[in-house]
Amino acid sequence: MGNLALALVLAVSLTVLRFPNAQSQDFTSDAHVVEHPFTTAVASWDVNTPGGSWIETQLRARIGSRWTNWYEMGHWSKDESDGHRHSVQSPADGDGRVDTDTLYLTTASDAWQARVYFHPGAHGEMPTLTLFAVTTGDDTATAQSLPNKNAWGVDIDVPERTQRIDESPDALGGGGDAWCSPTSVSMIMAYWAARTNHPKWDVDVASSAAGTYDPVYKGCGNWPFNVAFTSEHGLAGWVERLSGMSDLERYVTLGVPLIASIRVKTGELVGSPYKNTDGHLLVVRGFTRDGDVIANDPYGLPGHIRIIYKRAQFEHVWMGGSRGIVYVIAPPPLLEKLRGQTFVSRVRGARLLGS
């Protein structure tokens, strides 16, 4: 199982801006200084976009005493038919580039700033934003941590669903064979639907794929789009880069299953239903009494979806793959208790554009 006594911890930060009164007017956030210098950033958001309305999200970073240009982090609408849900392909500049959902900087930054534009639907309906999060990171190992053994022996009963279904007449993003992210989202939504008696949160795999599809990326694996899709149904969440395994264990201890992004080379993850993958998402539902990872792997077929992965192997393909990326998705009241108690209003945390 590898060394369970110590694990490397990456330098990461998460800032969650909450809007107690849903935001529907263009704004620019304050500059947010992070604890650790960063070279990557991912934005995510909780929003409702009725009637074809949509939002446009941007980030910029501070390098030394100057700010970079604004980078497009994605246009979002729950209605993809009008062309307002997509990532943005922009040319790289001297400071960085955006690859679908992630800002990569050439030089480490110590602060970020966000900007959101709100666009009405055909009949004037406006989007309403309730949360905006930015997770930043660097590949530098800053410390070592002990495992959180309170999570060992916890197995959250997340429903099992497979991505390998034949329900996509237009084969969005490659069809079911490529639907690991929306299938994992469907499992998490089904769990919270049953746990909290909200049956409308239970969305089937094909609907989840249709609701997260990014036509520029040509797939359903855009990280913030998957979180935004759940928020359109009344759940809440963010994309977060965790520092290591103890962070996974902390969430499991609190009863929150996570969706983790991994990358696997042949032989690296024994027991997986695939030999290798350049990118894959699965549900982390718990840990065995020995600290191994209990997952719902959507690439498995029914009866073979719940899989136990050796702790050291999982840590390698997760931390070495996405550098610790997870989706955190849960009912809003629960997430409000967890972290990110930064409240934003007209006079604190953001300034409205044009005011």
Query: Which range (7-21, 89-103, 226-240, 272-286) has the least confidence?
Result: 7-21
Average pLDDT, the chain: 90
Output the six-digit token pair for 232: 């359109």
**Where in the chain are the domains?**
8-145+341-352, 149-335
Distances (CA, A) of 1 to 10, 313, 352: 21, 8, 52
Q: Which helix (H) or strand (E) holds 139?
A: strand 128-145
Q: What is the mean pLDDT of residues 163-189?
A: 84
- The pLDDT value given to residue 251: 95
Confidence band for 339, pLDDT divided at 50, 70 and 90 = low
The DSSP code sequence of 194-251 is HHHT-GGG---HHHHHHHH-BTTTTBS--HHHHHHHHHHTT-EEEEEE-SSHHHHHHH
> Going by DSSP bridges, is the β-strand pair 342-343/293-296 parallel, antiparallel, or unpaired?
unpaired
Q: What is the mean pLDDT of residues 12-41?
A: 92
Is the pLDDT confidence value at 347 over 60? Answer: no
Q: What is the pLDDT of residues 242-263, one digit of tens each?
A: 989 999 999 999 999 999 999 9
Is the pLDDT confidence value at 233 over 50? Answer: yes
- The pLDDT value given to residue 140: 67
Q: Which one, of 141, 157, 140, lies nearest residue 195 by Cα?
A: 157
On whether the CB atoms of residues 68 and 54 are closer than 8 A, the answer is no
Using DSSP, state whether 300 is helix, strand or coil: coil
The CATH homologous superfamily of the domain defined by 149-335 = Cysteine proteinases (3.90.70.10)
The DSSP code sequence of 41-61 is EEEEEEEE-GGG-EEEEEEEE
Contacts of 179 (CB under 8 A, 6+ apart): 163, 165, 168, 173, 205, 208, 209, 220, 298
On whether the CB atoms of residues 251 and 155 are closer than 8 A, the answer is no
- Does domain 8-145+341-352 bear CATH number 1.10.3470? no
Angle among Cα 149, 150, 155 to the nearest 5 degrees reads 100
Token pair 């004037």: residue? 124
Compute the half-sphere exposure of residue 75: CA atoms within 13 Å on the CB side of its CA: 16
Q: What is the pLDDT of residues 277-336, one digit of tens each?
A: 999 999 999 999 999 999 999 999 999 999 999 999 999 999 999 999 999 999 999 988
- Asked if domains 8-145+341-352 and 149-335 share a fold, the reply is no
Q: What is the pLDDT of residues 61-90, one digit of tens each?
A: 999 999 999 999 999 999 998 899 999 988
Q: What is the mean pLDDT of residues 89-108?
A: 95
Q: What is the mean pLDDT of residues 200-219?
A: 95
